[in-house]
Amino acid sequence: MLLPPDQVQELNRRSTGMLNNVQRFFAHHLIETFGCDYSTSGVTAEALQAKIKTFMDLRTADGPRHDTYVIFYSGHTHRSGEWALAGGDTLRLDHIVDWWREKNGSVCSRLILVLDCDDSLPWVREVRKVEGPSYVAVQGATLARVTDVELQDPPQLGDFTSQWVEYNCNLNSGIQWSERGRAVSAAYGISKHWSDYSLHLPSDSDVANHWGMYYPRVTYPVVQLALWCGSMNLLWICSACLRCLKRVKLNWFPPAVLDTGQGFKLVRS
């Protein structure tokens, strides 16, 4: 069945606007763009798996992995949250988490999924059950149902992306996610150990190499002493208790706005 030309034009306009908003978000926060797949006929499971796994393999120009990996998706979904792919295939959240564990290994990097689709809440709830050191978050949204379309235009896909990007790129946006009666409501979920994550810091060898390149050899004992003192974690019991308390607090009492520490925030209404 073919859509009327005016509806096709409207869909293309909204899709282009959504793509421009995502590009604005990446550019504003200096996020390296891996690529974009825009398809009207759907994406095959094999192509999507290869694309995501290649993306998860990306590293910085210096060699280490990135701190955070962001995947944005807007498209057809099932009520369970599964992505609807070409040929009747689906993609579940646990598939992405398994790929992430395979590629991330023992390296502490984060994966953030931003979803602008009809059924993102199931994944928001499901990601909260992810165990172990897999730092995964899902940012989703829901669109309010409008009973009288003559009095109010119903929200559509792309509205959340527009507002979320504006909120994260413009400090004076004035967007209040907690206000009542919002046509677009936001929700996010994080894995159980999300609060354990910390941004990557230079290793002992990185510090020693840097010191050797820019400082005289006579000062080497200073850096060795500093590294030795830093390795003596005398308060490890206290830090373990604080980490546990922080984990419980974030899982049971998540804030309305969660700062990722890299310039943008996850939000809930």
Residue pLDDT, tens place only, 8-52: 677 778 888 888 999 999 999 988 888 887 777 778 889 999 999
What is the rounded distance in angstroms from the CA atom of residue 187 to the CA atom of residue 267?
6
Question: Residue 77's beta-bridge partner residues?
Answer: 83
3-state SS of the chain: helix, strand, coil percent to 5? 45, 15, 40
Question: Residue 212 — pLDDT band, cuts 50, 70, 90?
Answer: low
Which domains does the chain carry?
A: 5-199+253-267 (3.40.50), 204-232 (no CATH)
- What is the residue whose two structure tokens read 């295939």? 89
What is the rounded distance in angstroms from the CA atom of residue 102 to the CA atom of residue 50?
13
| Mean pLDDT estimate for the chain | 81
pLDDT at 9: 74
Question: Residue 186 — pLDDT band, cuts 50, 70, 90?
Answer: very high
Give the predicted TM-score (pTM) of the model: 0.81
What is the rounded distance in angstroms from the CA atom of residue 180 to the CA atom of residue 173?
18
Average pLDDT over residues 73-82: 90
